[in-house]
């Protein structure tokens, strides 16, 4: 049976991990490569690197970093954050990223999904959707969640699938950072209308939250950042817990 995936997300700025990472035994806690290796060895099923560096000249750092990560880890990884063109996506994929994640740039220019999927295949394209419940419906937000769009989340999800996205990373801004659990209602709505895997994001605070989201929705994966970085949940513990609760999960021996 296909396993549900657990995905730590690392925020990167200028080639360094941003969020204070509270891990013992890392040579350089700010090194995304060290952290990535640690997560891969602990049983993370995939990794997401989100680059929050704004400037173009720093982008080169990201491509260099991707190449080092690809050399050091042998699980799949996604790179996202400010990818605006096929050229930028191609650079990251050719330097070793398995997938790229698009967010605001896909809303601005939806054909970008088609262009990348056309050249590298749908399995390379993750569309990240930031969503918030406002005025009685789930809407899409862009620019790091600052700007509301006219798009309804389910409509946008259907559209990105039609354009060739291979996966949707759905972050509920209502629950992000709250540690109160994943927002299952919007996940269910989106899963119902698309045929591609959906990754749950935003709100993970405990092992139970992962269990609930896997039990109550058909998400393919769950993503979290701070609970892993601060050691509040360890991946081996989480996976053991999910396995004991009969969630189909990959455990490393």
Partner 1 sequence: MIVIVDYKMGNLGSITNIIKKVGYQSVVSSDVEVIKKATKLILPGVGSFDKAMQNLKELELIGALNEKVIIQKTPILGICLGMQLLGNYSEEGNVSGLGWIDAEIKKFQLKSFPELKVPHMGWNEVLIPNSHPLCENLPDPSRFYFVHSYHAVCKNQTNVLMKTHFGYDFDSAIHEDNIMGVQFHPEKSHKFGMQLIKNFIEKC
> What residues line the site for partner 1 (CB under 8 A)?
1-3, 5, 40, 45, 67, 70-71, 74-76, 93-96, 98, 121-123, 166-167, 195-197, 218, 220-221, 250, 252-253
Beta carbon nearer to partner 1, 55 or 195: 195
Q: Minimum CB separation from partner 1 for residue 96, in Å? A: 5
Burial level of 3, CB count in 10 A (0-12/13-18/19+)? middle
Q: Where are the alpha helices (DSSP H) in 3-84?
A: 32-42, 59-72
Q: Which ranges of 79-230 would DSSP assign to H, the alpha helix?
A: 86-94, 104-108, 111-120, 153-163, 184-193, 207-216, 226-229
Can you tell me which residue has the tokens 């918030």?
Answer: 132
Residue position matching structure tokens 């080092």: 68
Question: Residue 2 has what DSSP assignment?
Answer: P
Nearer to partner 1, 11 or 98 (CB): 98
Asked if 41 is an active-site residue, the reply is: no
Question: What minimum distance in Å lies between the beta carbon of 70 and partner 1?
Answer: 6
Query: At closest approach, how far in Å is the CB of 143 from partner 1?
Result: 29
Closest CA to 78 of 197, 186, 162: 197
Please identify which of the residues 14, 130, 150, 176 carries the catalytic annotation. Answer: 130
Q: Which is nearer to partner 1, 85 or 218 (CB)?
A: 218
- From the CB of 93, what's the least distance to partner 1, in Å? 7
Is residue 176 flagged as an active site residue? no
Catalytic residues: 11, 130
């Amino acid at each position: 049976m296909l396993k549900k995936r657990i995905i730590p997300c690392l925020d990167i700025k200028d080639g360094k991990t941003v969020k204070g990472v509270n891990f013992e035994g890392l040579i350089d806690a700010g090194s995304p490569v060290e952290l990535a290796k640690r997560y891969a060895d602990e049983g993370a099923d995939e990794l997401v690197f989100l680059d929050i560096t704004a400037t173009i000249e720093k982008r080169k750092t990201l491509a260099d970093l991707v190449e080092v990560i690809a050399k050091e880890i042998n699980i799949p990884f996604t790179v996202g954050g400010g990818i605006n063109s096929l050229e930028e996506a191609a650079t990251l994929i050719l330097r070793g990223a398995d997938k790229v994640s698009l967010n605001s740039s896909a809303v601005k220019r939806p054909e970008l999904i088609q262009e990348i999927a056309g050249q590298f295949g749908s399995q390379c394209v993750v569309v990240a959707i930031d969503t918030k419940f406002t005025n009685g419906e789930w809407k899409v937000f862009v620019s790091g969640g600052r700007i509301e769009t006219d798009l309804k989340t389910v409509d946008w999800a259907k559209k990105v699938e039609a354009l060739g996205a291979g996966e949707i990373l759905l972050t509920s801004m209502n629950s992000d950072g709250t540690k109160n659990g994943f927002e299952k209602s919007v996940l269910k709505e989106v899963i119902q209308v698309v045929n591609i895997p959906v990754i749950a994001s935003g709100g993970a605070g405990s092992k139970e939250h992962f269990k609930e989201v896997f039990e109550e929705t058909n998400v393919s994966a769950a993503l979290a950042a701070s609970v892993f970085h601060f050691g509040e949940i360890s991946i081996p513990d989480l996976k053991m817990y999910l396995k004991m609760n009969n969630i189909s999960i990959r455990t490393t021996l």
